[in-house]
Structure formats: C-alpha cells, structure tokens
Amino acid sequence: MYINRMKKLLITPLIILMLVFSPAVANTENTLAALSGTIYFCPHVIDGDTIIVIIGGKKEKVRLIGVDTPETDGPYTKKEPFNREASAFTKNMTEGKYVKLKYDRERRDKYGRLLAYVYLEDSTFLNVELIKEGYATVFRKFRFKYRDDFIHYESEARKSKKGLWKLF
C-alpha cells in the first residue's frame, strides 16, 4: 500500500510536467491509460448506473456491475422516484473525471455495454457508494463477485433510511 501511494506521488507530478511542457502529449486519458492500462476519461453520465468513457478515442457505454438505480423516462422505461438524485450523484462523482474500470466474468451485456466496477481517482468504489448512500439497489438478477457485500450495504442503507429508502 505504501509503495502504491509513493508511485502515485511520483507519477502524478510527472504527468503534470509532461502535459505542461510537451505539446506532443495532447490527450491526457491516453497518457494515464498508457501508465495503468485501465484509467479512462468520463465525459458524460447517461444515468445513475450507466456512464460514458473514452477508450482508444471511442465513446463506450459502461454499465456499473451489480447496481440498479431508478430509471429515467425513456422509450423502454418509466420514470421512477429518486432517478434525478441517483443520476446527479453519479454525475457529480464521475463526469469530467478519470475513472478506473475493473471487470468481472462477463465483459459486455446483451446491449453491447461494457460491464464494470468503477473506481474513482481516489480509489472510491463507485458501485458500492451508490448502494451505501441509497441511490441504488443491488441488481440481483445475475451473480457477480461482490454480490454478498452489496446486499449487506443495501441492508445498512435501508435500515438507515438513506437515499431512496426514505421513501419506504
């Protein structure tokens, strides 16, 4: 852990210097991706559980594994209570920022979206935070690595009447 912290402390100033002094480095997300292989820029949030990231210069939809946030009104969904708050939370946490993606067994869903656990630059686990703060429920339809932990966090949020659990 100490070594990882030291690497971050040494690499971050190096990246900043490269960006400031090198016109050849025009794309920050490519620089960070080259260093870690899994850090991407998030230019847009679709809703509480789906974000856009830039991978190889291409926009990719990323569906957060194991979480289900209230839906917004759309062609296939009806608007659900607390959808604006959930979307705003995810937007505040990720939009215009860099995120790290980690994958489980399945890489894509039937809609072609990447399925990922999303971590913020400070190592915050976004999927977990959505559940802990009551912005999401556990998506129980499929098995996934952290399912039991997510169910525990959902139970705690429900008991504490956090987020959408205030409505019940």
pLDDT at 17 over 50: no
- The per-residue pLDDT for 139 is 96
Set 60, 85, 95, 113: catalytic member = 113
What's the pLDDT tens digit per position in 71-83?
Answer: 876 566 666 768 8
Tokens 């296939």 belong to residue: 76
The C-alpha atoms of residue 46 and residue 36 are separated, in whole angstroms, by 25
DSSP state of 69: P
Whose CA is closest to 163, among 96, 94, 98, 90? 90
| Residue 134: pLDDT band with limits 50, 70, 90 | very high
Catalytic residue among 63, 129, 133, 154: 63
Which of 7-16, 31-40, 93-102 reaches the highest mean pLDDT? 93-102
158 is catalytic: no
**Known catalytic residue at 154:** no
- Mapping DSSP to helix (H, G, I), strand (E, B) and coil, where does residue 102 land? strand
Percent of the chain clearing pLDDT 90 (strictly above): 68
Q: Taking CA 126 as the corner, what is the angle to CA 82 and CA 68, rounded to the nearest 5 degrees? A: 45
Residue 167 to residues 40, 85, 119, 133, 138, Cα–Cα distance (Å): 35, 13, 28, 14, 17
Pick from 24, 25, 55: nearest CA to 41? 55
63 is catalytic: yes
Question: Averaged over 116-122, what is the pLDDT?
Answer: 95
Asked whether the whole model's pTM tops 0.95, one would answer no
